[in-house]
């Protein structure tokens, strides 16, 4: 057992943690996973903006709700990410992309990571509750699914972990919408469904790229358990299901419909090339990058078509 493993194991067994006096804000930013927070805030804002549009409310007339919603959502998402770091600190050192997390290197102790995660989650919930109770409840449900059902349970026990995680990853637009309209218009649920279907092909592509690392960490991702062929079929099925769902919102106008069709069709065509490719990792990398562009472009266009 390495010194790092021994330290982590000792923390988990004894529940005691050394006080790290040289901790800076950078370590806390790192365990907040700002990339995840930022991308989710785009969908939170989309939900908030559309709620204002369909309810005849200008966000400029209620800047406090905008600030509370975005800050509250950012905090609760960051809190969930920190709690995930706390839970995974015994295996993160095995994976290349997570081995330098402050919760792994010892820059942050387990106690500091846990305290920060809980504080951010509580603070975010409080801010969301200052908009509507529904927004806060949705935020807590998403947090519970991500931390308890995903991180603590299914991540290490079943290939269905990706599906479970997709539920929590799909709630940000609901949080944004509920902050203005607790009734949750069908458009809000359409955004939720888009987010839910987008996540499996996104994360399964990442899992293909990191198959060996997941295997070494004992995480039963689909590529590890069932192989690349099965994973590629699952990815294509999800992308194929996402395409018609994204086109259900024809009332968004021609610009949105054409954009959704081109993005979805392009992603599906790229996915189908996976059945002929000789380089699965290269294909998975392209699918992963495309998924990031897909989500960003689609939600930006959703906002823009309602601005003009």
Of 200, 172, 199, 194, the residue nearest 40 (C-alpha): 172
167/191 same-domain check = no
CATH number at residue 38: 1.10.357.140
Position 148 pLDDT exceeds 90: yes
The per-residue pLDDT for 51 is 96
Q: Model confidence over 222-255: pLDDT tens digits?
A: 999 999 999 999 999 999 999 999 999 888 999 9
pLDDT of residue 4: 43
Residue 262 and residue 134 share a domain: no
User: Residue 21 — pLDDT band, cuts 50, 70, 90?
Assistant: low
Are residue 40 and residue 136 in the same domain, yes or no? yes
- Which range, of 102-106, 131-135, 139-143, averages the lowest pLDDT? 102-106
Distance between CA atoms of 147 and 192, rounded to whole angstroms?
19
Q: Are residues 33 and 159 in the same domain?
A: yes
What is the pLDDT averaged over residues 170-193? 96
Q: Among residues 155, 184, 213, which one ends one of the domains?
A: 184
Of the candidates 235, 254, 246, which has an alpha carbon nearest to the alpha carbon of residue 308?
A: 254
Domain residues for the domain of 273 are 186-308
Domain shared by 44 and 86, yes or no: yes
Q: What is the pTM of this model?
A: 0.89
Is the pLDDT score of 98 beyond 50?
yes
pLDDT at 154 over 90: yes
Burial of 169 (0-12, 13-18, 19+ CB in 10 A): buried
Averaged pLDDT for residues 147-158? 96
pLDDT digits (tens, 9 = 90+) for 63-81: 999 999 999 999 999 999 9
């Amino acid at each position: 057992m390495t010194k790092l493993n021994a330290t982590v194991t000792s923390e988990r067994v004894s529940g005691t943690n050394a006080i790290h006096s040289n901790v800076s804000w950078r370590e806390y930013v790192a365990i907040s996973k700002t990339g995840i927070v930022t991308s989710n805030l785009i969908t939170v804002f989309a939900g908030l903006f559309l709620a204002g549009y369909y309810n005849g409310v200008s966000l400029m007339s209620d800047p406090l709700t905008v600030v509370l919603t975005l800050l509250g959502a950012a905090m609760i998402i960051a809190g969930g990410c920190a709690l995930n770091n706390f839970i995974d600190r015994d295996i993160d050192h095995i994976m290349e992309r997570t081995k330098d997390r402050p919760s792994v290197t010892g820059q942050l102790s387990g106690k500091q990571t846990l305290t920060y995660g809980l504080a951010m989650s509580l603070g975010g919930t409080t801010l969301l509750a200052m908009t509507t109770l529904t927004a806060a409840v949705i935020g807590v449900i998403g947090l519970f699914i991500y931390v308890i059902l995903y991180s603590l349970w299914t991540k290490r026990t079943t290939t269905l972990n990706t599906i479970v995680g997709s539920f929590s990853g799909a709630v940000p637009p609901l949080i944004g919408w509920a902050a203005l309209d607790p009734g949750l218009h069908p458009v809000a649920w359409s955004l939720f469904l888009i987010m839910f279907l987008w996540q499996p092909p996104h994360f399964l592509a990442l899992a293909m790229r990191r198959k060996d690392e997941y295997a070494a960490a004992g995480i039963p991702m689909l590529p590890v358990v069932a192989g690349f062929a099965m994973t590629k079929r699952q990815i294509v099925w999800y992308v194929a299901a996402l395409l018609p769902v994204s086109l259900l919102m024809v009332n968004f106008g021609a610009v949105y419909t054409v954009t959704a069709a081109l993005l979805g069709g392009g992603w599906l065509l790229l996915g189908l090339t996976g059945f002929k490719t000789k380089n699965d990792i290269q294909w998975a990398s392209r699918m992963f990058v495309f998924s990031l562009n897909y989500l960003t472009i689609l939600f930006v266009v959703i906002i823009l078509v309602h601005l003009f």
